[in-house]
Structure 1
């Protein structure tokens, strides 16, 4: 269905999806013409789609005419049995990890060729990070992303064949070097990224054991490079992974 956007073969649903994915990840309101540019859609098409998405609750329109993500999408997302099962098993351990370390703690899952952050525990003691729930980041530049890569040697070749873009000057973008790093990290059972996603931050992350019905996942701790203590953090992280996996085993048995 070509629709009125002048894009043959592009359905209305696909154009609406592009609109929603173009909404800023940080939740900031955006003007519809700017949203159209980000979604690569004609402005007239974007205005029509925005009006319909507002009516359906997928977008909210603010008094100044800008739009932001609506609650209807959050409600639909909360119906995901897979993510709900994973979050419910992990959240108690994420919170305890934060209580013990005072650092940001993330749960991420594989989404296409990126890591999607689905849960986070932090507070006033934690350093600022770029990673927020609902955001995606590169697998090779993030601790949880690299931890997920450790469990997927069968498609590592395909991933390393893509362009590895730098997030900071420390991001490993050379495929051969990254392959060597991943091999060493797979042998030790955890990933460690140093200032590869955010300058000044270090992330130590460990994958959850792959299991049917759940996406590949990992949890990670992000700390300041000057204070990150791998010797102290690693046992706490390992204990949390063991507890999450035990809880997932119980829910599977039930």
Structure 2
């Protein structure tokens, strides 16, 4: 449930369509927002929202939450993420950019997750209807790890949201997991539902090439370069009903 009444997370508006059209050839910045701000508009109820800030927000007293609402509304208005209510009402329209973020997070056909450490992940939320092809993806990049005793604790975590095409999102994930690491890196594609489906792409990369690993941790095929890895990840995007990502 949202503590701030808002409206307007609609991918069918002209403004949203213009942003989606731009993402076909460019990365479109959408918003940099804190976990606290996301919780104020109810994003903690979405299935793929980070568990730690969601739990922290849920433990807050009503009085404390009201204080954050009173401070959060001017902050969101000042950054253009919320717009002033129309006709003196109490419902705040969201900006087209922030609306795309909330719409993508609310009920995606799948979510791709690449764990980044410290309990945070790089996430990809596709924008598509039940029987529509994926035209664009909202990418959530964790940009800071908050101090546990400052900056509102886990609620001070910042997220950078960007809109890009499915191939660009696959390339971004490939660039992330191909980097050298002490342990293999993974991209997990989760399809919510009564019986959630999950696919995992596991690699051990050296920065230039990546060896694909099977469920047993053993090599599964010849090493691939960054472009080849992006194709593998893109194929994981495209597997499933109602999704025609290319």
TM category (shorter chain) comes to 0.3 to 0.5
TM-score, with normalisation over the residues of structure 1? 0.33
Comparing both structures, which one devotes a greater share of its residues to helix? Answer: 1
Higher normalized contact order (CA 8 Å, seq sep 6+, divided by chain length): 2
Comparing both structures, which one devotes a greater share of its residues to strand? Answer: 2
TM-score, with normalisation over the residues of structure 2? 0.34
* Structure with bigger gyration radius: 1
